[in-house]
Chains A and B, each alone.
Chain A
């Protein structure tokens, strides 16, 4: 199989406008004849569904939650990047592009990233017009702040609830189309299979989570905006319901899965406190604007942080990276935290944490300034830990937060299955091997509001779409297979619960495909995941029935898919014999302990093709060419 990214010709800065000028359009009077199925209602899905409906398409919108407004985009805290250059500090489309591609350690496509930077400004305009209450200056203009990996202030924010405010903007746009009769909503539906007819994505099979019934929907195109797969690690900052199932089932119908080992470990999360902990909570990276990261200089320090004098503190990010200091990219910050912790200098009861200290910021700027910027984050920290971060430093530890990998898409955001488009975190497209802060919201909204309306239109206008009905054989076969898999989970009646299996899987993946990776460990992880998966299908216990709300059954289906994905993640990490961004193979590091890329061999996107149950996936590579940026060793020193 050959991958064609379909990148338009011409200079980088003109590719997107060239595409917009030349792409085929659908006649307005024909749009209402086309049904589009949009799965997921986060930033990408809600924005796409609303915008396509506005243009006249008939849209059906599906989500697993009870309301589209609860998609996990809602939990994004810190902000959204745009190249507005309102602060006049030297920002530009080029610089946002450059920072993003460099931040991703040169493992993303130039053309996609440049388009993202170009669109960024329109997103801010759109959101403000929708009533998103971004932070403002006293003069009434929009405020900005800095984020990791950038030397300009280009992040727009709404306290620590930016994702919520942007999602509610998109949700409002979606509700407006529901009122107009152009979007039909299907909440509490889980997509369990993709229906491919004559090589084209033409429908989906979903399970109604309230009644347990399987339902079939046909359309002219299917858009997946179903988020990332961080929950493969069990403990992550994702919502408990975030899952890979829709993307994975599409993968098994022919969509290639790219760079699955590119998973972001976010440096500033609240550390694990108890064995029965169900999830981790992120503290926005924006905290690193004012908070200083440190650990004691000597291992085995027992004094409380307030009693440790300046001379005995190691502000290791500031010393090692004087240019970027506490604002180095996430992968660098996480790896450094792991390193000082491995040296025995971790803090707190478990020793698995570093300090994030606001003492100096409070002394310089006053408590109220800090409170206005981070008040809700401080409150959240206090609620969870019972400690007051105004009085003592926060304790933070890295946690899995975002997945750069996802279904492979071309420049049109179409997967290897024609008619299946993938948006937002669910695709692999823009962040390479590491995502910079405040870029996920930008990408989700760029994909949904501004890219898919053009590329989907082009697909519809240029593709022969014979009529299909839900009675076609392909629908029957897809429903039967989804039903069989679901019922099988119930029929095992073994001894171990879903949660127990999920926790075991998470530990395996965290150890093998976590902050550092090695050949031996990866090979071992593959074996262990296979044997855990085999035990899962023999010894799982799912209580209850399939004909009613049964959250255990839902989870079991998701964990079953994670069991398969986990193996491909390890396989991908094993095949990528270099370090880049989040992917740190211990055998490939510089003398200073930084990631050592091998551009001659691995300037690629690694896309995995499904080969059947219990068969290893095979690798198809897309070669990445860099014509506009020079590949350098990333340096934040």
Chain B
């Protein structure tokens, strides 16, 4: 099959960008979406043009490096799928596909489809961990964790920090990202001693980075490649209130 790709090209953070249209032929339905971009880049390189820069690594939907808007949807049309796991069998011959970088104030464009997501690391630095010194842990079975709590904590812990939730949110909020970590750690007994400090500091940092707040649109959970539920945000709100109670 043949597809036309309308791609956002931007040489650098301070430069103006524009859409440029390309055509890629001879695409097998078993090809992944990123492999089509590889193919385009080979074409561009051979013709002496500059290839399209895009972040990617594992191509198994787990490292969170890749991410782009595909026809206006973060990671493209298939739910619970990062763009590296999107296959061309989801498209039709002759389709024109629009590809843009994540757009958010807290994610400045670096080049083409590559954005700077270091703001997410800084939210993690603000408290996305349990303070435990190496070597000081008790036996792993010393603290029981009810299976439902452990399972739900796991579901929240699967966040890959790709930034799709931010890109899809009308407020460019990182609430789902931040809440997923807060909820994961609050659900486990090991995470409870720091729960109050954690929620306050992480949400403060989120605001400081220029992310908006949540107004319950729910776009984030629709595009999340890991299917993380917006319930995390409700949990984060409860944690926030709890942090301000005197007991």
**Cβ of B32 < 8 Å from any Cβ of A?**
yes
B74 neighbours in A (Cβ, 8 Å):
none
Do A131 and B60 contact each other (CB < 8 Å), given the known contacts A176-B131, A549-B53?
A: no
Do A126 and B132 contact each other (CB < 8 Å), given the known contacts A70-B65, A541-B45, A549-B110?
A: yes
**Cβ of A142 < 8 Å from any Cβ of B?**
yes
A127 neighbours in B (Cβ, 8 Å):
140
Q: Give the contacts of B27-64 with A (CB-CB under 8 A).
A: 28, 30-32, 34-35, 38-39, 41-42, 44-46, 48-51, 53, 55-64
The residue on B at minimum CB distance from A172 is: B129
| Contact between A178 and B59, CB atoms less than 8 A apart | no
Q: Which of B12, B63, B80, B111 contacts A239 (CB 8 A)?
A: B63
| Contact between A86 and B141, CB atoms less than 8 A apart | yes
**Cβ of B234 < 8 Å from any Cβ of A?**
no
| Contact between B118 and A51, CB atoms less than 8 A apart | no
- Kindly state the separation between the CA atoms of A241 and B135 in the bound complex, as whole angstroms: 32
Bin chain A's interface residue count: 35 or more
Do A187 and B154 contact each other (CB < 8 Å), given the known contacts A131-B190, A276-B28?
A: no
B80 neighbours in A (Cβ, 8 Å):
379
The residue on B at minimum CB distance from A270 is: B60
Do A175 and B146 contact each other (CB < 8 Å), given the known contacts A130-B129, A278-B34, A543-B51?
A: no
Q: Which of B48, B62, B150 contacts A136 (CB 8 A)?
A: B150
A51 neighbours in B (Cβ, 8 Å):
134
Q: Give the B interface residue count (CB, 8 A).
A: 81
B62 neighbours in A (Cβ, 8 Å):
74-75, 161, 164
The residue on A at minimum CB distance from B185 is: A131
| Contact between B133 and A179, CB atoms less than 8 A apart | no
B interface SS class: loop
**Cβ of A310 < 8 Å from any Cβ of B?**
no
**Cβ of A274 < 8 Å from any Cβ of B?**
yes
**Cβ of A531 < 8 Å from any Cβ of B?**
no
Do A384 and B87 contact each other (CB < 8 Å), given the known contacts A165-B154, A178-B125?
A: yes
Against B, the Cβ 8 Å flags (1 = close, 0 = not) of A172-187 are 1101101100000101
Q: Which of A67, A140, A185 contacts B117 (CB 8 A)?
A: A67
| Contact between A125 and B51, CB atoms less than 8 A apart | no
- Kindly state the separation between the CA atoms of A47 and B11 in the bound complex, as whole angstroms: 36
Do A69 and B64 contact each other (CB < 8 Å), given the known contacts A54-B133, A175-B128, A383-B85?
A: yes
| Contact between A175 and B145, CB atoms less than 8 A apart | no
Q: Which of A66, A278, A543 contacts B35 (CB 8 A)?
A: A278
| Contact between A548 and B125, CB atoms less than 8 A apart | no
| Contact between A172 and B117, CB atoms less than 8 A apart | no
**Cβ of A139 < 8 Å from any Cβ of B?**
yes
**Cβ of B161 < 8 Å from any Cβ of A?**
yes
- Kindly state the separation between the CA atoms of A142 and B111 in the bound complex, as whole angstroms: 45
Q: Which of A159, A275, A500 contacts B154 (CB 8 A)?
A: A159
Do A549 and B59 contact each other (CB < 8 Å), given the known contacts A67-B120, A86-B141, A158-B154?
A: no
| Contact between B188 and A131, CB atoms less than 8 A apart | yes
**Cβ of A518 < 8 Å from any Cβ of B?**
no
B131 neighbours in A (Cβ, 8 Å):
176
The residue on B at minimum CB distance from A174 is: B129
B190 neighbours in A (Cβ, 8 Å):
128-131
**Cβ of A636 < 8 Å from any Cβ of B?**
no
Shortest distance in angstroms between A404's beta carbon and chain B's nearest beta carbon? 21
Known: A67-B120, A239-B58, A240-B56. 7 other contacts (CB 8 A): A130-B190, A133-B150, A135-B154, A173-B129, A179-B127, A380-B85, A386-B30
Q: Which residues of A contact B (CB under 8 A)?
A: 47, 50-51, 54, 65-70, 72, 74-75, 84, 86, 122, 124-131, 133-142, 158-159, 161, 164-165, 168, 171-173, 175-176, 178-179, 185, 187, 210, 239-242, 273-279, 281-282, 379-380, 383-384, 386, 449-450, 453, 497, 499-500, 541, 543-544, 548-552
6 closest A-B pairs by CB: A172-B129, A140-B144, A129-B137, A133-B154, A239-B57, A125-B137
A-B pairs with beta carbons under 8 Å apart, 28 shown: A65-B57, A65-B63, A66-B55, A66-B65, A66-B116, A70-B64, A74-B64, A74-B160, A75-B58, A125-B140, A136-B150, A140-B144, A164-B158, A168-B157, A185-B121, A274-B28, A274-B30, A277-B31, A278-B34, A379-B80, A383-B61, A383-B81, A383-B87, A384-B87, A500-B42, A543-B44, A543-B51, A552-B51
Q: Which residues of B contact A (CB under 8 A)?
A: 11-12, 28, 30-32, 34-35, 38-39, 41-42, 44-46, 48-51, 53, 55-65, 78, 80-81, 85, 87, 89, 110-111, 114, 116-118, 120-121, 124-141, 143-147, 150-151, 153-154, 157-158, 160-161, 184-185, 188, 190-191
